[in-house]
Amino acid sequence: MAKQTRAAAGLRFGIVVARFNQRITGKLLRACTDTLAQCGVAPNDIQVVRVPGAFEIPLVARTMARANRFDAVICLGAVIRGDTPHFDYICEEVSRGIGQAALETEVPIIFGVLTTETVAQAEARADQTQFNRGGAAAESAIEMVKVMRRIRGEADNVTGSNLTSQNGQARLRRTR
């Protein structure tokens, strides 16, 4: 368990999570919210929106980013290859849509959507005892908020700090 820090206290996060493959996405969501909490994000500063599947994630992510209520939006889902080309179409559109939404809104929108060949691969990437992509997405969101604030010349409430990770666990490291 990561040592609790205040690296993200006062920041607000939107999370869009697909209900499809709930067994996997539920673990991603749990790791994501746990990591945000470990970094000092208050429960009231996290809004979770559930959507039917990964294809619906980009629209909701862009809408959340445009609402000017979130410092970053985290997208969580799991697309697992099947016997048809459906996997390829969904993965391409989800990744394109999330990237486009981030560029259009200039709000960090984090891609935490698993795209795996098998259920076993998805389960391994959602395992909280290993590297969990949900926790990693939360870490990326915090880091990107800080990067964007530095670029824009905005005040950063944890000046001289970098968020680093080890096995998907949040850690705050002082820099000079």
- 174 pLDDT more than 50: no
In this prediction, residue 130 carries a pLDDT of 79
What distance in Å separates the CA atoms of residue 146 and residue 166, rounded to the nearest whole number? 19
Q: Tell me which of 6, 23, 69, 86 is the catalytic residue.
A: 86
8 Å CB contact between 73 and 14: yes
Instruction: Confirm whether 86 is a catalytic residue.
Output: yes
In this prediction, residue 157 carries a pLDDT of 56
pLDDT tens per residue, range 61-114: 999 999 999 999 999 999 999 888 999 999 999 999 999 999 999 999 999 999
8 Å CB contact between 162 and 144: no
DSSP H or E run through 100: helix 86-105
- Structure confidence at residue 128 as a pLDDT band (50, 70, 90): confident
Instruction: Select from 93, 80, 61, 172 the least CA-distant residue to 125.
Output: 80
What distance in Å separates the CA atoms of residue 160 and residue 173, rounded to the nearest whole number? 9
**What is the average per-residue pLDDT within 129-158?**
88
Q: Where are the domains of the chain?
A: 13-174
- Structure confidence at residue 156 as a pLDDT band (50, 70, 90): low
Q: Does domain 13-174 have CATH number 3.40.50.300?
A: no
- 159 pLDDT more than 50: no
pLDDT tens per residue, range 6-58: 889 999 999 999 999 999 999 999 999 999 999 999 999 999 999 999 999 99
